[in-house]
Amino acid sequence: MSRRSDMHGFTLIELLITLALLTIVAGIAVPNFTAFIQKTQLQGQADDLVATLLYARGEAVTRRTTAEIIVSDTGPWVVRVGGESLRELNHNPALAQMDADVTSIIYRPNGTATAALVTICRNDEFEKAYVVAVRPSGSPTIHPRGKNADGSALASCTR
């Protein structure tokens, strides 16, 4: 098909082919992007938990007293020192469930703590879950996605 030299623009067929290609690319990208957002939300919750644990440990050492983190399945996790609430870790159970094997985590004035394991999961997808371990030395550790504290594959999101 020949064009006149003074005509500019796209033909209808060129426009339709471009739109079809964009639709295919968007159809591939959107599910991957959704999965990426969900993984990032879980990683963010694990990072927030570690930051809260380190904060409680620092307060216990600085104030030379015990700091307690009250664990809740549905509400915020509260850091208390001397009966005073200092910080809360809010989490949305619809986005990430945090399941701990203890009801509270105690940090002592020397920085040591009660050992605990916390599983951060979404929709019972344990292969994407994170495990945060609090060692008796007081240091928290995030284990690789889908792995238990001993390095084995997670079999469940509950403790």
pLDDT tens per residue across all 159 residues of the chain: 566 666 677 788 988 999 999 999 888 888 888 888 888 889 999 999 999 999 999 999 999 999 999 998 788 999 999 889 999 998 887 788 899 999 999 999 999 999 999 999 988 888 889 999 999 999 999 999 989 888 898 888 876
Report if residue 156 sits inside a domain: no
Report if residue 4 sits inside a domain: no
Residue 75: give its domain's CATH number. 3.55.40.10
Report if residue 6 sits inside a domain: no
Alpha-carbon gap, residue 87 to 134, rounded angstroms:
18
Taking the model in full, what pTM does it have?
0.80
Radius of gyration in angstroms for the set of CA atoms belonging to the chain, rounded to a whole number: 25
Query: Domain range for residue 65?
Result: 12-142
The length of the chain in residues reads 159
Report if residue 130 sits inside a domain: yes
Instruction: Say if residues 120 and 97 touch (Cβ distance below 8 Å).
Output: yes
Report if residue 157 sits inside a domain: no
Nearest Cα residue to 119 out of 12, 23, 58, 42: 42
Q: Is 134 helix (H, G, I), strand (E, B) or coil?
A: strand
Instruction: Say if residues 97 and 121 touch (Cβ distance below 8 Å).
Output: yes
User: Total domain count for the chain?
Assistant: 1
Report if residue 59 sits inside a domain: yes
Helices (H) and strands (E) in the chain, counts: 1, 8
Alpha-carbon gap, residue 73 to 24, rounded angstroms:
41
Report if residue 158 sits inside a domain: no
Report if residue 48 sits inside a domain: yes
